[in-house]
Amino acid sequence: MTPGHESAYDVLGEAYDRWCRSVVEDIPHYVELAVAAGGPVLEVGVGSGRIAIPTALSGVEVIGVDSSPAMLELAAAKAAAAGVAVELRLADMRELPPLGPFPLVTVPFRAFLHLATDHDRLAVLRSLFELLEPGGTLAFDVFHPDRQDIAETHGRWIVREPGISERAVWDEQRGRLELEVRTADATARMELWWIPPDRWHELLVESGFERIERYGWFDRRPPEPDGTDTLWIARRPG
């Protein structure tokens, strides 16, 4: 989504934090990576600061980028309330401003699923590669559904949190998910796109990354054959 155009996240506004309030398992993973790297950290798709603020509270400098003005406003307010400074920038991940270099770049909460094509995925990976210092680390997580996910949720409204429901419409052939999130005040719609884990590995290699690690969950367990989440840690040579 181009900055300045209303996205699903702008529509959700303050409801975003209620929608994803149960998602906490990824926070220690990214905070630990940030502390180990020492900062500054670039977080792409910073959202409302769900991960950036705990990272800043750990003493690591964070620069957060997002294409949603509403999310950046939430992040700024939450950072101020927490008494930490987080530098926030309005930008699309496909058109990042000149920043860096960084010892760590993160793209949490499946933000890469907003990229519809391998052309865009490769372009973003290459731009993030250039923002890393030699030996720097890229970390992100993505999702790919299995048949059970699709069968159980396709076309059905499901209560995600009190007062918030969502409906998934899956297109397996195209690797496309149309997700609607409904609150008492609005309905937000977004398109998400997935690819197999092996393709992510190929794109990372093609982008120049090495020492690529793949995990099945945030406790860094090995991937399982029926797993749907994939975590990646990859390094720029140097």
Q: 111 and 162: one domain? A: no
pLDDT band at 226 (very low <50, low <70, confident <90, very high): confident
Region 102-116: what's the mean pLDDT?
Answer: 98
- The per-residue pLDDT for range 114-160, each reduced to its tens digit, is 999 999 999 999 999 999 999 999 999 999 999 999 999 999 999 99
Region 82-105: what's the mean pLDDT?
Answer: 96
Region 82-94: what's the mean pLDDT?
Answer: 97
Q: 23 and 125: one domain? A: yes
Residue 19 clears pLDDT 70, i.e. is over it: yes
> Domain span at residue 227?
8-146+195-235
In Å, how far are 137, 143, 214, 231, 235 from 223, measured between CA atoms?
Answer: 20, 12, 7, 9, 19
The pTM score is: 0.95
Assign residue 86 the CATH number of its domain.
3.40.50.150
* Angle value at C-alpha 8, between 158 and 24, nearest 5 degrees: 60
Complete DSSP assignment for 30-74: HHHHHHHH-S-EEEES-TTSTTHHHHHHTT--EEEEES-HHHHHH
The one-character DSSP state at 113 is: G
Residue 193 clears pLDDT 70, i.e. is over it: yes
In Å, how far are 68, 77, 141, 145, 166 from 176, measured between CA atoms?
Answer: 22, 33, 17, 10, 16
Res 225: pLDDT? 87
- Asked if 138 contacts 232 with a C-beta cutoff of 8 angstroms, the reply is yes
In Å, how far are 29, 79, 163, 229 from 194, measured between CA atoms?
Answer: 22, 32, 28, 11
- Other C-beta atoms lying within 10 Å of the C-beta of residue 134: 10
Res 4: pLDDT? 46
Q: 72 and 116: one domain? A: yes
Region 55-74: what's the mean pLDDT?
Answer: 98
- Of 156, 172, 189, the one marking the end of a domain is 189
Residue 101 clears pLDDT 80, i.e. is over it: yes
Residue 111 clears pLDDT 60, i.e. is over it: yes
In Å, how far are 54, 163, 236 from 43, measured between CA atoms?
Answer: 12, 29, 17
Residue 105 clears pLDDT 70, i.e. is over it: yes
Q: What residues contact 197, with CB distance under 8 A and at least 6 apart?
A: 142, 144, 214, 223, 230
Q: 119 and 48: one domain? A: yes
Residue 2 clears pLDDT 70, i.e. is over it: no
Bridge partners of 138, per DSSP, are 105, 234
Is there a domain that residue 1 lies in? no
Sheet of strand 164-171: strand arrangement: 157-161, 164-171, 176-182, 187-193
How many domains, in total, are found in the chain? 2
Q: 81 and 42: one domain? A: yes
Res 95: pLDDT? 96
